[in-house]
Amino acid sequence: MLRSAALLLMAVLLAGALAGAAMGWRTLPFAIAPAILLLGLLFERYIYKPIRREPPGPGWDRTTEKFVDPRSGQTVVVYYNARTGERHYVADTDG
């Protein structure tokens, strides 16, 4: 609901700024922030990494982080690779 409202608001602000610029007004600088926020809202769902079924291989340490994924409802644990700084999210099979 909040995401939809933010998407709508940013789209309206961007359209207004671009329409003003098309009419010769100096509104183009006002299109920058809504454009960035709109793109962020549209692509943020693709940034999050998928939840894996199996733990990663050697070099990965299980952290104490544990949370419930709001999308799937399953408990997820976090694995960390100290060499690369990368994190993997794995479904918790321990319960």
Q: Which pLDDT tens digit goes with each residue over 17-65?
A: 999 989 999 988 899 999 999 998 888 766 667 889 999 999 999 999 9
Please tell me the predicted confidence (pLDDT) of residue 95.
60
Element (H, E) at 83: none
Q: How far is CA 92 from the centre of its chain?
A: 22
Query: Per-residue pLDDT for 14 more than 80?
Result: yes
Q: Which residues contact 20 (CB under 8 A, 6 or more apart)?
A: 27, 30
| Domain count of the fold of the chain | 2
Question: Six-digit token pair at 72?
Answer: 């799937």
**43 with 7, same domain?**
yes
**6 with 39, same domain?**
yes
Its domain, for residue 38, covers: 2-47
On whether the pTM is more than 0.85, the answer is no
Neighbours of 62 (CB within 10 A): 15
**42 with 55, same domain?**
no
- Span 3-29, mean pLDDT? 91
d(CA 95, CA 38): 38
